[in-house]
Chain A
Amino acid sequence: MTDILVAYGIPLAIIVAQSLALIVAILLVTAYVLLADRKIWAAVQLRRGPNVVGAFGLLQSFADLLKFIFKEVIVPAGANKGIFLIAPLVTVTLALSGWAVIPLDAKLVISDINVGVLYIFAISSLGVYGVIMAGWASNSKYPFLSALRAAAQMVSYEVSIGFVIVCVLMTAGTLNLSEIVEAQKTVWYFIPHLPMFAIFFISALAETNRPPFDLVEAESELVAGFMVEYSSSTYMMFMLGEYVSILLMCAMTTILFLGGWLPPFDIAPFTWVPGIVWFLLKVFAVFFMFAMVKAFVPRYRYDQLMRLGWKVFLPFSLFWVVLTAGVLVGFDLV
């Protein structure tokens, strides 16, 4: 019995501790990323943004957290109670579980699995369930309509994300995220795959329902989208899930196209900086672009969104898959 405890208990305890540390770190980063999002948006519009709670508003996210937690959870009378309460949990759990395979530095990853890219792709394609379940369980018209739109949007953009990922993993020759980063030692993939980088970035915006593709929330048309009936903690979990998956998408962009934890030049002053610092810097740079897009670009109309996904991105990324395969085989680079 003690053998079993030693053989399985210790690795289990280690992995639980690692996961908890990662989750706490992600939640802290999310709190400040949320603040940064609001600050950047405010700066573009010549406002100050949150600046009251703590110096420069640094504690604003925590004040919001307390506010959400201490309010009452209201479940509508006609709602399907079980699914209504499971939906936000699904969203948060899926968003957090994607981080299990993200390598923050060489060897600094909880689970270095062979099919890391597919795992992330699977997790992000499951994100649609949180939305559909919430919209249906609310038993109300606006959330339902919005959930249908959101689901169609998320499924559509997954297709082009899939093809973009295929291009990258053909070039790297592996599905393991750490090996994909190592394969970018010579050149970061955003240079040879520049159009795919753009498509991935835009599809990531659509996949995480960020503006200009925030038709899911679309305050001006659908009230608050599929979250209309949600209040307090359940609403907060949706927001949390949304921001964690935005960070996940930033991390994916970094790993697939910007060389993960690798320094920009493999020479002395750059290699002194630890890899995780480069990784975080790149993630925040990508997030800054996400935030700027939110401030600059007006919301897409729904049919334009669908047109962009199916008639522009899908054929082009399909063409790029064939081109990449042709170049790799033709120049014997496999």
Chain B
Amino acid sequence: MIATAIAFYLFAAITVAAGFMVIAARNPVHSVLFLILAFFNAAALFVLMGAEFLALILVIVYVGAVAVLFLFVVMMLDIDFSELREGFLQYLPVGALVGIILLIELLLVLGAWVIAPEAASIAASPTPAITDIDNTRALGHIVYTQYVYPFQAAGLILLVAMIGAIVLTLRHKPNVKRQVIADQVARTREQAVEMKKVEPGQGL
């Protein structure tokens, strides 16, 4: 147990420190890199809890894809961040409000476990023991049977968001040269080559 405890405190401490540095770092790119560090250590915490599937999905989706886009945007933006930082404290009330609401919600969720421990046992699909079934299978059983409609709805919402983003940014410019592979392949010798007889001294 002691090794698990040491590992937990190590990863947890790095996660908290990295989370603090996300808002404390002067350079926005450093902020994003600290955010990535925080994600990565959160994944390590998942592994310690035996949720290896969630841990790796967290790394693949958030670190491998979402954070890359973050980093892209932050690198490309040409914003004077010191100027942005000046009115920093005026957002404090809103930020504190959001933080407090999140804290209360987390307490409610976790509190239910403490106040009513029997609540977990009467859940519709109880979590099978890790020794019985690996958690990839366990998640699959729940997500694709009992919660298949919410799962599909979530997918549909993401699809709508994606199509919306494409519609908003797609511009058809008439004067842009585009490569159409089918046209290139369909070209015949007659269309492409023209034979000219050049008289000496005349040119074309």
Contact = CB atoms under 8 A, between A and B. Distances in A.
Contacts of A151: 68, 72
A214 interface: no
Interface residues of A, number: 27
Contacts of B134: 114
Contacts of B52: 113-115
A8 interface: yes
A297 B181 CA distance: 19
17 contacts: A4-B2, A8-B2, A80-B29, A83-B33, A114-B136, A118-B53, A118-B56, A121-B56, A121-B60, A122-B63, A125-B59, A125-B64, A126-B64, A132-B71, A151-B72, A158-B65, A307-B181
Contacts of A122: 56, 59-60, 63-64
A148 interface: yes
Contacts of A80: 27, 29
Nearest to B67: A129
Interface string A101-121: 000000000000111001101
Nearest to B36: A129
A303 B65 CA distance: 21
Contacts of B72: 148, 151
Interface of B: 2-3, 27, 29-30, 33, 36, 52-53, 56-57, 59-60, 63-65, 68, 71-72, 75, 134, 136, 179, 181
B179 A303 contact: yes
Q: Would you call the interface of chain B mostly helix, strand, loop, or mixed?
A: helix
Contacts of A303: 179
B121 to A, nearest CB: 26
A305 interface: no
B53 A115 contact: yes
